[in-house]
Every structure is written in C-alpha cells, then in structure tokens.
C-alpha cells in the first residue's frame, strides 16, 4: 500500500461482538446497558470507516520514523474524536494513568517494530502514533479506526480500563501494519488471519517489553483486562485457545485450537475472532519449538510473510501456512526454523 496515504481499513475492536452480544442479554442492568452502548458505537464506527475518504498525508522527512511521534488525546467521556491533546511526544508523565499507559503502549509497539524488524512506525514511513483515552461512558472496547487508537474505560464490572494491557495496544496497532502491508480482507479465513497476526505481534510487543522468552511468556491476550468478578484470565489464549474464560455471564471461550473445531458462522465477519485461535496456536507451537525469544525467529518469519508482498488479501489458512514456510526457507534455508513452521501448521490441521 502507498505509504503516502492512509488506505481504507476495517474497524477493528479488541472485544469481539459475540462477547458483547452475550453481555447485552445475560449481564445485570448496568452491564447490559454498557454492552449495548458498545455495540451501537462499534456499528457506527464500522459504517463511518466504510464511508471515510482517503486521507493524504504530508510529505515525510528523510529521518521520519527513527523515533516515535506520539500524541494522546482525551474525549472526557464524550464520543467526539479526537478529543483534547493531553500529552505529546517527549512530554513528561501526567496525573492520568490512562494517558500514561496509552503513551507507553504506543512506544512499546513502536520499539518492537523499529528495533527488531527495522520498521519505521506503522506504515514504515514515520506515521505519527495517535491515541484517544476515556472515550464514551463506560465504553467496553478499544479499537484502531485506520488513523488512531481509541480506548474505553470499561464498565468496571466485566472489563477494566482498556489501556491496562500493552498487548491490546500492540494488537490494535498491528491492524494498522496489516492495513499498510498485506491488507488481509476482514472476512472468513483472511479475516481470522488478520486478527491472528494482531494477536501474534500484540503478544510479541509484551514479550519484548518484558524481555520474556517463549517459555516464560503467558501467551495471553488481555491478561488483566477482565474485572475480578469474571471467571477467566484474558480474552484469548494463544497457547490453549478455548480456555481463556468460562464465566456465567461472559460465557465460554469459543476459540478452536485446530481445524477439527473450525466454526462455520456468518456472525463476526465469518468468525474472525473465533477461528483466529487456529493460526494463533500454530504460531505458539512454532515459537515454543524454537525456544528463546519468540520475536527473533518465529516473529521474523511471520513479519517476512506479512510484508513480503506474496499474500493475496483473500489468503486462507493454507495460503498463509505456505507463505510462512516459504519465508522460513528463504531466510533460514533447511534449518530447524523451517521444520518448526511445517510442524506447527501440521499440528493444528492446516497441512498434512
């Protein structure tokens, strides 16, 4: 994608609609109301995203992207974006923890992509990183809208503040990376791959920030996001899809761990947040097989695949598996990395 402009992108939220649908029916009155507001806002943003004009960016300087350029705004619980600027790049920490966490999360994501993969921001051309906090009233989500990160505060009953998890920030910003690279369609298997790639690099952002090995990492997306009353540990588990939560109100984590459990549905753009568990586990298996820091070899293979220019926007699981195998072979020849990739996809039933 031409990095001089922001192309059209999906409205990508961290909390999938099937969770909000359940809360809108099964929760107590405040939870139901918060979930219904979130669903309405998400629907509005999806429609606005489809109608949004292509935005041309100003020319970038030669050294753009060597350092992050962050701006955090605050809507003060309104629904009008972007809100008032409360912290700019280089400014000191403020009293508002949500502002500081958003600022730091943008920086942690920038650091992984720049320091590990040499990528100059989301678009590889120095795109400024913008975020908005305190969006709406008890808004139960966070999203990338093609231009900025937006965080709700959560309802306090099911979800905590969405700035609390650096992997959530990494996940949403990676939708921007996908937007500027492979442009995976947000539907069916290509949509599940879009979600999975965001989970992969969201996890790697957290692991890189904490300097954790594959063995030390929890491989959870949104650990700490669920309020204490919820019986669960996170939104998703890459190590064990389907085990992140099992709660009377929230329901049970529906993610399959292999193609044996693949879900055929017309909901959620063909189950993009559900079937993403299959490629998620494939990546975990590759990283665990190789050991060490997951961003170094497993992450490099996935990054090469995402940015290599060989993926079609409608790529399915098999096409993505083949592309990762080709990327591993190109970079590592017939080494353990190539064998680990083949083994990982076979274990989840994508390849024979």
pLDDT digits (tens, 9 = 90+) for 230-268: 999 999 999 999 999 999 989 999 999 999 999 999 999
CATH class of 5-180: alpha beta
Q: What percent of the chain has pLDDT over 90?
A: 79
Split at pLDDT 50, 70, 90, the class of 154 is very high
Q: Do 184 and 194 meet the contact criterion of CB atoms below 8 Å apart?
A: yes
Helix (H) or strand (E) holding 164: none
Q: Is 172 a catalytic residue?
A: yes
Arithmetic mean of pLDDT over the chain: 91
Residue 188 corresponds to which tokens in the numbers above?
């069916």
Cβ neighbours for 66, distance < 8 A, ≥ 6 positions apart: 114, 120, 126
Tell me which of 172, 195, 289, 337 is the catalytic residue.
Answer: 172
Q: Which of 45, 35, 53, 38 is nearest to 12 (CA)?
A: 45
Whether 195 is a known active-site residue: answer no
Go through 135-165 and write b for each residue having 16 or more CB atoms within 10 A of its CB, e for each that does not: bbebbbbbbbbbbbbbbbbbbebbbbbbbbb
- Domain ranges in the chain are 5-180, 188-347
Task: Please report the pLDDT score of residue 46 as a whole number.
Answer: 60
Burial class (CB in 10 A: 0-12, 13-18, 19+), 118: exposed
pTM: 0.92
Catalytic residue among 45, 134, 171, 273: 273
| pLDDT tens sequence across 257-316 | 999 999 999 999 999 999 999 999 999 999 999 999 999 999 999 999 999 999 999 999
Q: What is the CATH number of domain 188-347?
A: 1.10.390.10
Lowest mean pLDDT among 40-49, 73-82, 110-119: 40-49
Residue 16: what pLDDT? Answer: 87
């Amino acid at each position: 994608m031409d990095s001089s402009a922001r192309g059209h992108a999906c409205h990508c939220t961290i909390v999938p609609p099937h969770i909000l649908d359940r809360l809108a029916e099964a929760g107590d009155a405040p939870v139901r109301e918060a979930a219904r507001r979130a669903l309405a806002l998400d629907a509005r943003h999806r429609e606005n995203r489809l109608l949004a004009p292509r935005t041309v960016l100003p020319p970038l300087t030669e050294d753009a992207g060597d350092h992050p350029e962050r701006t955090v705004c605050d809507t003060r619980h309104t629904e009008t974006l972007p809100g008032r600027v409360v912290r700019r790049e280089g400014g000191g920490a403020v009293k508002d923890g949500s502002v500081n966490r958003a600022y730091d999360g943008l920086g942690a994501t920038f650091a992984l992509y720049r320091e590990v993969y040499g990528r100059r921001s989301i678009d590889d051309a120095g795109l400024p990183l913008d975020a908005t906090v305190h969006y709406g009233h008890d808004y139960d989500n966070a999203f990338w809208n093609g231009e900025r990160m937006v965080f709700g505060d959560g309802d306090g009953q099911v979800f905590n503040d969405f700035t609390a998890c650096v992997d959530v920030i990494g996940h949403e910003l990676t939708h921007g990376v996908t937007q500027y690279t492979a442009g995976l369609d947000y539907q069916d298997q290509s949509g599940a791959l879009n979600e999975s790639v965001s989970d992969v690099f969201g996890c790697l952002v957290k692991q890189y920030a904490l300097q954790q090995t594959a063995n030390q990492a929890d491989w959870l997306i949104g650990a700490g996001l669920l309020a204490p009353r919820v019986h669960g540990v996170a939104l998703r588990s890459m190590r064990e899809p389907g085990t992140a939560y099992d709660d009377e109100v929230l329901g049970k984590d529906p993610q399959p761990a292999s193609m044996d459990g693949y879900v055929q549905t017309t909901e959620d753009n063909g189950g993009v947040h559900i079937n993403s568990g299959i490629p998620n586990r494939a990546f975990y298996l590759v990283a665990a097989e190789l050991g060490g820091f997951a961003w170094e070899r497993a992450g490099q293979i996935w990054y090469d695949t995402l940015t290599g220019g060989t993926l079609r926007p409608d790529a399915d699981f098999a096409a993505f598996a083949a592309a990762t195998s080709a990327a591993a072979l190109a970079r590592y020849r017939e080494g353990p990395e190539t064998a680990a990739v083949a083994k990982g996809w076979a274990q989840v039933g994508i390849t024979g």
